[in-house]
Amino acid sequence: MPVPLPIFCRIMSNIRHEPVAPTQMAMRTSGDVIDRHRHDDHQLIYVSTGVLAIDTALGTWLASTNRAVWVPAGTWHQHRFYGRSLFHTVGSALADPLLPVAEVAVVLVGDLLRELIIAGTEPDLSAPESARIRAVLRDRLRRAHVEPLTMPTARDPRLAHACRLATDDLSTPRPLTWLAHAAGTSDRTLARLFRAEFGTTYPQWRTGARVFQAMIELAQGSSVTETAARCGWATPSAFIDTFTRAMGQTPGAYRSAARPS
């Protein structure tokens, strides 16, 4: 069974406030959840293996082996891990952010940036060594490409219902007309809601949802062929083409990088 895509922010009963965003690394198992919380400082979040879904009030963001997520101070968020994940967090002072971005954002992680994040979160670093790593990390982050890769949370209940129906079974293509009827609205209204709330068309949104779910499936060990079928691609080759254009690497390469060695 495919793992449901955690698109919608869950309101958790156990809410925490953590004053300082820590710099650390930790191993997490698939299915682990860090309950909804926030920090007074900024945080860069990365996984060198596995996939991490970060739920906020605005949507769901994915950290993976080639993408980190920047979470500004004060942002309520929750973590859910897919696949055995080596989890890295880099705290950043409120008055001196590593990345001058005021909203949650996805940062592309190349080879050098990856090694800097891993080295900068190793335990027992001396203060001088940590400072040197952070200085280079700051320079590389400000050169990194920032992109709005997210699955936004719908505000309108009709749109939220349609999104939920579409993602509950990505293996079955749901035309806009079918979704609109099931959500109690017209296809014209539903198309307008996709554009107004997400700034995209329904087919573009669905492609993004399938790529998100594919990242999770691959991190948990599904084959390329299995993932293609579960996420609604007619053929593995069509999946490989779409995933490669979206992620900058093939599903096979992504799967290998996401799985622990």
Partners of 46 in the beta sheet?
A: 88
pLDDT on residue 2: 43
Query: What pLDDT was estimated at residue 58?
Result: 87
* Mean pLDDT (the chain, rounded): 88
Between these two residues, 12 and 146, which has the higher pLDDT value? 146
Q: Which residue has the higher pLDDT, 147 or 122?
A: 122
Do the bridges between strand 16-18 and strand 33-39 make them parallel or antiparallel, or are there none, so unpaired?
parallel
Per-residue pLDDT of 95-137, as tens digits, reads 889 998 899 999 999 999 999 999 999 998 999 999 999 999 9
Comparing CA positions, the residue from 29, 27, 33 lying closest to residue 12 is: 33
Q: Spell 109-137 as b/e; 16+ CB within 10 A means b.
A: beeebbebbeebbeeebeeeeeeebbeeb
DSSP 148: -
Q: Which residues contact 255 (CB under 8 A, 6 or more apart)?
A: 218, 219, 221, 224
Is the pLDDT score of 146 beyond 90?
no
- 3-state per-residue secondary structure call for 39-108: ECCEEEEEEEEEEEEEECCCEEEEEECCEEEEECCCCCEEEEEEEEEEEEEEEECCCCCCCCCCCCEEEE
- Nearest to residue 61, comparing CAs of 177, 153, 157, 182? 153
Assigned token pair, 8:
């919608």
What average pLDDT does the segment 23-28 reach? Answer: 94
Q: Is a pLDDT exceeding 60 seen at residue 172?
A: yes
Measured CA distances, 145 to 32, 52, 126, 140 (Å): 29, 20, 30, 10
Whole-prediction pTM: 0.80
- Domains in the chain and their CATH numbers? 16-147 (2.60.120.10), 154-258 (1.10.10.60)
Q: Which of 6-10, 68-72, 79-83 has the lowest mean pLDDT?
A: 6-10
Taking residues 16-41, what's their average pLDDT? 85
H-helix segments, the chain:
111-120, 127-141, 157-168, 176-182, 187-193, 202-219, 224-230, 236-247, 251-258
Instruction: Give pLDDT, residue 47.
Output: 95
| Residue 16 pLDDT | 54
Q: Which residue has the higher pLDDT, 12 or 200?
A: 200
- In angstroms, the CA 239 to CA 106 distance is 22
**DSSP 8-state code for residue 234:** S
